[in-house]
Chains A and B, each alone.
Chain A
Amino acid sequence: MPRFLKNKQFIFVIVIAVALISAMAYTYGGGRNVTPIESAIGGILSPVEKAFNSIGNSISNFFTSIKEIGTLRAKNAELEKEVIKLSKNDIMLQEYINENNRLRDMLNFKDNNTNITTKPANIISKNPGNWFNTFNIDVGSDNGIKPKMAVLDEKGNLVGIVTDVGNNWSKVLSIIDVDSSVSALDVRTRDNGIVRGDSNGNLNMIYIPIDSKIEKGDVITTSDMSMFPRGLIIGKVEKVEKDEGSLLKQAVIKPEADFERLEFVQVVTNMKTTGN
């Protein structure tokens, strides 16, 4: 018998490692209600996390406001100009909306976006490691949250998907995580593709047909084929490149949601894939 097999501690470590690998295989992919023990761990720690997170936010707000004092006047003038421009735009938009409504009625389209109901939530903590882009929010199954619900930021841009749900907390996988993939659509050219995270803050859209006219600046939204509601804005195209060795294109996409400064999110509660 080899010497290391006599070392009980070593064998213990190996047994634990095997157990952990099976746990990994079992829990991978999310989409489950977590076990009562896991739920309790999160439930105990989430108020503490919430407190520390708000401390962190107030500290960073303090420093940003100091930084901004000098530029306030210039910024104000700029904003006033912006207001005039926007109010002009608004009138124009109203015109477009009316026209759009008429056309929509004509085509008998059903607008999915008007019947989304959401539940607001606070982000209480982010993944402490560098490899994964997940975060925890302070609502859970008590508030009617179920796995696989879409998570949006305040403005309604797609942020991620709920993976695991505890009683009063849930884990959210952001779309910029390497593990995330979303079926997407270029609004202008109607090209379908899959948007995947590359973990340093950008997204890659793959499987775009080679003859597509996708360009820098195009808006990418969720498509009808994904489990998300359609028409949620994902981001804008930043760069288009030809995929080496295959007859497909891919594009680098800058996400519309600001993942660095995310504080509040909203969870879409009436999704068809979650049984509602």
Chain B
Amino acid sequence: MRSIYKYLLIILAIILQATLMKYIAILGVKPDALLILVIAFSLLNGTGESITLSLFGGILVDVLFNNAIGFVTISLLIVAYLTGILSKNVFRESTFVAFVFVFLGTILYNLIMIFSMLLMKYELNPSYLLNVVIIQSVYNSIITIFIYRYIVRFNSFVKSKKFFFKV
């Protein structure tokens, strides 16, 4: 249960995302801190963690912000689970690997989102879809290049150290 720090980090990421992220949007598209974190931790720690973290983060976002509970959670769950499975065969701590995973993961995440919106009979605007998918995957993966090493460090820190209080 030492991973409570990961959960706290995810809560912080969601709050920052909902309040401050609008100031760094490019062409109206915001990066997704939650998605980056969940993909990174799934890559580092495998499927078990990918399921718990994506459920926790996704349900939190859905309850707080979304019109139907499950939109974000199901996309996040699928992306994180696939990442967890594939992470067995790659060198986990390489920034380049994380870059590729976040890039493809963001595309898949948005495609699942679009698919569920189509099922709900939303009228979608094709040019906007393309914008969001492309800009966000580039944006997310570039952010990953800069922060992945810190996530790796945080992850090993959580694994190894003893903390001020036991959880």
Binds B, one of A123-131, A151-159, A185-193, A213-221: A123-131
Q: How far is B22's CA from A151's CA once the two chains are assembled, in angstroms?
A: 21
Are A9 and B51 in contact (CB-based, < 8 A)? Answer: yes
B14 cross-chain contacts in A, Cβ below 8 A: 128
**Are A130 and B63 within 8 A (Cβ)?**
no
State whether A49 and B122 are in contact (beta carbons under 8 Å apart), knowing that A129-B61, A136-B64 are contacts in the complex. no
A-B contact pairs, 8 of them (CB 8 A): A9-B48, A55-B19, A126-B19, A126-B65, A128-B21, A136-B65, A199-B125, A201-B28
Could you list which residues of chain B lie within 8 angstroms of chain A, going by C-beta atoms?
11, 14-23, 28-30, 32-34, 47-48, 51, 55, 60-61, 63-74, 77-78, 81, 110, 113, 116-117, 120, 122-125, 128, 131-132, 136
Q: Are B29 and A130 in contact (CB under 8 A)?
A: yes
What residue in chain A is nearest B61 (Cβ atoms)?
A128
Tell me the minimal C-beta distance from B64 to chain A in angstroms.
6
Q: A20-B74, A126-B19, A130-B132 are in contact. List 17 more A-B contacts (CB 8 A).
A: A21-B70, A28-B68, A28-B120, A29-B67, A41-B64, A55-B20, A127-B65, A128-B14, A129-B72, A129-B113, A132-B66, A134-B65, A171-B65, A177-B67, A179-B120, A179-B122, A200-B125
Q: Mark A103-129, 1 if CB is under 8 A from B, else 0.
A: 000000000000000000000111111
Q: Bound complex: CA of A128 vs CA of B24, how far in Å?
A: 12
- We find that the number of chain A residues with CB closer than 8 angstroms to chain B is 51
Given the interface pairs A9-B47, A128-B17, A179-B122, the reply to whether A29 lies near B68 with Cβ below 8 Å is: yes
Measured CB to CB, the nearest residue on chain A to B63 is A38
From A11-19, A73-81, A225-233, A267-275, the one touching the partner chain is A11-19
The answer to whether residues A48 and B63 also contact, given A20-B74, A55-B20 and a CB cut-off of 8 A, is no
| Per-position 1/0 for A54-66, Cβ under 8 A of B | 0110011000000
CB neighbours of B73 from chain A (8 A): 20
Chain A residues, CB < 8 A from B77: 13, 16-17, 20
Q: Which of A55, A56, A129 contacts B32 (CB 8 A)?
A: A129
Chain B contacts for A29, CB-based, 8 A: 67-68
Determine whether A89 belongs to the interface, using a CB cutoff of 8 Å to chain B: no
Q: Which residues of A contact B116 (CB under 8 A)?
A: 24
Report Cα–Cα, A38/B78, bound state, in Å: 23
The verdict on A198 contacting chain B, using a C-beta distance below 8 Å, is yes
